[in-house]
Structure 1
Amino acid sequence: MIRFGYKASAEQFAPAELLRYGILAEELGFDSVFISDHLQPWRHDGGHAPAALPWLGALAARTEKVLIGTSVLTPTFRYHPAVVAQAFATLGCLAPGRAVLGVGSGESLNEVLLGTQWPDGKERFARLKEAVLLIQKLWAEDRVTYEGQFYKTENATIYDKPATPVPIYIGASGPAATRLAGRIADGFITTSGKGHGLYTDTLLPAVTEGAEKAGRKVDDLDLMIEVKVSFDADLEQARNDTQYWGALALSPEEKTGVEDPIEMQRLADALSVERTATRWIVSSDPEEHALKVAEYLDMGFKHLVFHAPGPDQERFLRLYAGEILPRLRSRSSA
């Protein structure tokens, strides 16, 4: 099944406004709505950081069909994995068959302000793996006593949980975590704009390898990618909209260790629009735009979640639902 979703940008919009966009996405025919989970946004001025868990509960109550979830939440520092297990079991009861727990290894921007000593990538990966396995165990069993390298429970029970466990998707941009998604998760999440070779030569083969090593079929996993799109009839407007999200165009070397939204904003605002636009599919031509987006379908991704950078999200949703989604659905069905 091919799905097309909407990325609710928690870093850019206040909770009630963001909720309105999520509801509108369902009304306009989007298949899913995913929200990021940030304690701090990428920029201080005009930034937002609504909590994903209560926001998803509100979205569940105001929608009927759309798939809802996090892209992504970190179940290893701010939250104990058992708290995440409880929260998403509850969400699965409120929205049966519609909830997804998307997880990742985290960013220092969200964790260090709470006093966390930010570990290296090897430890973050180990924590993520242990957290996912513990969540799955808590959903499958009662009275779970567990003592791992990082987490511990004693006679823990999740009392309210749906008949079918909530799917877990693992977000990754490197081969190790991608293989982990193939081995133990129900889906894989990554982001666009990083060069086609990363997806075709590294990530998609890695998720396939992980699935096969676990005796699974990659076709049974939801392969999801957040596609960063700036589409407008005015090409200059589409380009300029990308500047709000300039932090995405910073190199890992430029933003590693930056844990303050004010400093992240300063670095991002120093970039030219030519550079901020590089992470986005920027276009004013619907046919050209749909063809560029469809390249991700051709790679093998099954679930495209669209993140638009502009301030007028209602305009984007209506424009995309009218101009782009029909072209993509026609292409995918063909």
Structure 2
Amino acid sequence: MLKLGYKASAEQFDARRLVDFSVLAERSGFDSVFISDHFQPWRHTGGHAPAAFPFLGALGSATSRIAMGTSVLTPTFRHHPSMVAQAFGTLGQLFPGRVILGVGSGEGLNEVPATGAPWPELKERFARLREAVRLIRTLWTEERVSFEGEFYRTENATIYDRPETPVPIYIAGAGPQVAKFAGRAGDGFICTSGKKWELYTETLLPNVAAGLEASEQPGRPYERMIEMKVSFDTDRARAMADTRHWAALALSPEEKHSVEDPLEMEKLADALPVERAASRWIVSTDPEEHVEKIAAYVALGFDHLVFHAPGEDQPRFLALYAEQVLPRLRARFG
């Protein structure tokens, strides 16, 4: 069955508003809520960066049904894997069966300002991610863990409050190696919409499938989650203008890779024309057209869609989506 989620835009709103929006998302019929874990937002002016751990605790207490998790958290630099295992062990115990740990290799924008450490190349970031995932799972399943890795060590460590229901780990990736690792070691895969179609059809999904097939349990339940960048409104000019806040997403990896200052990221983003800012988004005023564009991703095999709306008026988006889009998606895909 297709799952339909809501992205709580941590870089755009403070924690109190995000909890309110997420409660409204549950009441509007969404199945999940995911929050990113930014130490700094994409832009300095008007930006926010609430911490994911306390937000998820507050959200779990304010809701009763939705699944919730991170999309994504980096368990390798400012967060030590042991601390992540402890925090999500507690969340999993408080809200059994509702918590998902989504992890990724990180962005310099978040990790460098918080730690002062130099930002390493992808090879090291990927190696840290692999080791962190292994350590987190070990801490959830064993006692008195003395771990000797290349990057992380523990000595007689025990997570005393473990989740009653195992917390699934979803792994985010934008390239072939991490996608294959996500299939082999994860319970789900995370990526984002709006990129070149060949990336999904020729690189990401085939490598997820190859990793899954090579894993110890190739037939296990596995979700392919995608953050859908959508700007849906009855007013097209408004739908286009709403994407301006997130223009940084339209920057190429080469343009933003080494940027560690939100002021510099903001400057680069503000220089883009609105047409390029909107290029990562499905911008539409017609619900039938909107669903058709979303359906193309479902046809690829994505089965958990998390909708990220760029506008300031999130209640308006949730109301429009609940009335015009979610029913059409459920009628079509179940």
TM range (shorter): over 0.9
Partner SS state of residue 156, structure 2: strand
Partner SS state of residue 171, structure 2: strand
CA–CA distance in structure 2, aligned partners of residues 176 and 61 of structure 1: 37
If the length of structure 1 is used for normalisation, what is the TM-score?
A: 0.98
Match of 2:86 in 1: 86
CA–CA distance in structure 2, aligned partners of residues 218 and 4 of structure 1: 23
Deviation at 1:198, TM superposition (A): 1.0
Match of 1:294 in 2: 295
Which residues of structure 2 form unaligned runs of 5+? Answer: none
Match of 1:131 in 2: 132
CA–CA distance in structure 2, aligned partners of residues 312 and 192 of structure 1: 22
Specify the code of the residue in structure 2 equivalent to 1:194.
K
Deviation at 1:214, TM superposition (A): 1.2
Residue pairs, 1:300-311, within 5 angstroms: 300-311=301-312
Which moved further from structure 2: 196-205 or 78-87? Answer: 196-205
Q: Is the 8 A contact 1:208 1:218 kept in 2?
A: no
CA–CA distance in structure 1, aligned partners of residues 270 and 91 of structure 2: 37
Residue pairs, 1:1-334, within 5 angstroms: 1-113=1-113, 114-217=115-218, 220-333=221-334
Per-residue CA shift, 1:7-59, capped at 9, x if unaligned? 00000001101110011111111000000000000001100000010000000
Name the CA shift for 1:219/1:239 in 2 (closer, same or farther; >3 Å): farther
CA–CA distance in structure 1, aligned partners of residues 94 and 324 of structure 2: 33
Deviation at 1:249, TM superposition (A): 0.4
Specify the code of the residue in structure 2 equivalent to 1:120.
E
Deviation at 1:217, TM superposition (A): 3.1
Partner SS state of residue 40, structure 2: coil
Partner SS state of residue 68, structure 1: strand
Per-residue CA shift, 1:184-230, capped at 9, x if unaligned? 11000000000221111111110000011114336721100000000
Which residues of structure 1 form unaligned runs of 5+? Answer: none
CA–CA distance in structure 2, aligned partners of residues 217 and 296 of structure 1: 23
Which moved further from structure 2: 195-204 or 82-91? Answer: 195-204
Per-residue CA shift, 1:132-164, capped at 9, x if unaligned? 010000001011011100000001000001222
RMSD: 0.9
Per-residue CA shift, 1:280-323, capped at 9, x if unaligned? 00000010001101111111001000000000001101111110
Name the CA shift for 1:218/1:235 in 2 (closer, same or farther; >3 Å): farther
Identical counterparts, % of pairs = 64
If the length of structure 2 is used for normalisation, what is the TM-score?
A: 0.98
Partner SS state of residue 220, structure 1: coil
Partner SS state of residue 5, structure 2: strand
Q: Is the 8 A contact 1:182 1:218 kept in 2?
A: no
Partner SS state of residue 34, structure 2: strand
Name the CA shift for 1:126/1:282 in 2 (closer, same or farther; >3 Å): same
CA–CA distance in structure 1, aligned partners of residues 311 and 223 of structure 2: 28
CA–CA distance in structure 2, aligned partners of residues 217 and 313 of structure 1: 39
Specify the code of the residue in structure 1 equivalent to 2:29.
G
